[in-house]
Amino acid sequence: MKNYTTCLFDLDGTLVESKKLKGKALAETCNLFGDKVDATIYKSVMGESWFQVTRYFFKVAEIEPNIDLFNAEFKNIYQQLLSTELLPNPNVEELLTQLKAMGKNLGVVSSADKWMVNQVLSEMNFIDYFDVVITKELVEKHKPNSEAYLLAMKKLSVSSSEVLVFEDSRAGLLAAKNANCDSVAFRHEYNVNNDFGLALQVISDFNQFVLVD
């Protein structure tokens, strides 16, 4: 594999095992507004925009909540789950430590809200690993649009040929491709429906990935 100077990571599902928690929080929030839903239905829309995800849950639960109230309740539930149940993906910290020691530029490129990203990085003690963090608020267009990755590269003053992206969704891989970056896909139980044909490699544990210096 060629020598990349920069590795950019999606957050949810890629760095951390948060998809199950997000599905659980969505289901529990729906329960507050009406009918019960199964958290695993999140697998059907994982990687889609928040608008699409919530509308799917609303349809299955047969509810029409005020979105601001829903988001507020979701935030409370999800924050609690992140503080008590969040885990890193297998061997991700070991890889981050290795990459940092090799002098690589590291960044987080997420479509999540800033509060989510900050809490996850804080809970995992990952903040110091990253030279740049891109959140939902910093861009107008979200994955699969390339804007977030282009912004990260601009902030790091690197070209796309130097960048390797780690993603866990088809939309994320498309965003990387649209930014002319190579990518690696992280497979987990919540993205089994995602096509990872764009990735150079598909892994389910970060010890399966080897970066040649």
The predicted model gives 3-15 an average pLDDT of: 96
Q: What are phi and psi of 47, to 5 degrees?
A: 100, -15
Q: How confident is the model at residue 47 (pLDDT cuts 50, 70, 90)?
A: confident
Q: Which pLDDT score, from 0 to 100, does residue 36 have? A: 87
- Tell me the percentage of the chain whose pLDDT exceeds 90: 92
Q: How confident is the model at residue 2 (pLDDT cuts 50, 70, 90)?
A: confident
List pLDDT tens digits, range 100-131. 999 999 999 999 999 999 999 999 999 999 99
Beta-strand runs (E) in the chain: 6-9, 105-109, 132-134, 163-167, 182-186, 201-203
Helix H or strand E segment including 30: helix 19-33
Task: List Cβ neighbours of 68 (8 Å cut-off, separation of 6 or more).
Answer: none
Distance, in Å, from the CA atom of 96 to the CA atom of 99, rounded to the nearest integer, reads: 5
pTM: 0.93
Distance, in Å, from the CA atom of 101 to the CA atom of 67, rounded to the nearest integer, reads: 44
**What residues form DSSP beta bridges with 163?**
6
Sign of the torsion formed by the C-alpha atoms of 62, 67, 70 and 75: positive
For the structural domain made of 6-16+89-208, what CATH number should be given?
3.40.50.1000
